[in-house]
């Protein structure tokens, strides 16, 4: 997912530079190019072009991540999708595969780190389409509320895998990330 408001960062997080030499979005996509169906969800029609990934513009404007998830689920031929925010620059292919191995057909599989849900690094089934539509139609864009209306399951993230879920939201966090290559919660 890319193209959010990035209000705390003050600039587009998708375009922040990763130490690989690519921007956050491109670096993440390159690591996850093994999926059969690959999309970049963009809000507001921003021109994010990543080789091998289809851009998907939000069909519901200003609905935040919920609008992006709805748009991708409406389009994909897959039964479920792994949703990842572009501001998790160190999310690995191994962690994506670990989540896939745990997925058992529930509506949503939500990773949890010390009781904190990670809905922007979760697997969403197409079975959730109507719940997303109803929630967005009623003006409720909160992912936790939407997930609670589904048949969801949470899975604990092992401590050694927590670095995958570090997201960069502010300039200070980005500076720390640049210096240390990772920051923990």
- Structural domain includes residue 19: yes
Cβ pair 40, 56 in contact under 8 A: yes
Q: What is the CATH number of the domain that holds 110?
A: 3.90.550.10
160 falls within a domain: yes
Whether 174 maps to a domain, the answer reads: yes
Does residue 1 lie in a domain region?
A: no
In a domain, 29, yes or no: yes
Q: How many CA atoms lie within 13 A of 130 on its CB side?
A: 3
Residue 126 counted as domain residue: yes
Q: DSSP assignment of 37-59, as one string?
A: S-EEEESTT----BTTBEEEE-S
Report if residue 2 sits inside a domain. Answer: no
Q: What is the pLDDT of residues 18-75, one digit of tens each?
A: 666 777 778 888 888 888 888 877 766 556 666 667 778 888 888 889 999 999 999 9
What would the pLDDT profile of 98-147 be if each residue is shown by its tens digit?
A: 999 999 999 999 999 999 999 999 999 999 999 999 999 999 999 999 99
What are the angstrom distances between the C-alpha of 46 and each of 5, 23, 43, 67, 174?
11, 15, 7, 15, 22
pTM of the shown model: 0.87
- Domain range for residue 170? 13-180
Is the separation of the CB atoms in 111 and 157 below 8 Å?
A: yes
Residue 8 lies in a domain: no
Q: What is residue 136's predicted lDDT score, i.e. its pLDDT?
A: 96
For the chain, the average pLDDT equals 84
Tally the domains of the chain: 1
């Amino acid at each position: 997912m890319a193209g959010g408001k990035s209000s705390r960062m003050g600039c587009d997080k998708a375009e922040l530079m990763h130490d690989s030499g690519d921007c956050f979005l491109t670096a993440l996509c390159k690591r996850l190019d093994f999926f059969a169906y690959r999309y970049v969800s963009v809000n507001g029609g921003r021109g994010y072009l990543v080789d091998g990934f289809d851009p998907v513009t939000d069909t519901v404007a200003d609905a935040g991540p919920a609008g992006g998830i709805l748009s991708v689920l409406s389009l994909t031929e897959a039964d479920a999708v792994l949703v990842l925010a572009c501001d998790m620059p160190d999310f690995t292919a191994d962690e994506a595969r670990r989540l896939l191995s745990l997925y058992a057909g529930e509506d949503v599989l939500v990773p949890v780190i010390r009781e904190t849900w990670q809905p922007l690094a979760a697997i969403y089934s197409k079975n959730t389409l109507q719940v997303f539509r109803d929630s967005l139609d009623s003006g409720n864009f909160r992912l936790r509320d939407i997930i609670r209306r589904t048949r969801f399951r949470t899975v604990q993230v092992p401590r050694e895998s927590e670095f995958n879920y570090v997201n960069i939201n502010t300039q200070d966090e980005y500076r720390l990330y640049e210096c240390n290559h990772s920051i923990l919660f």
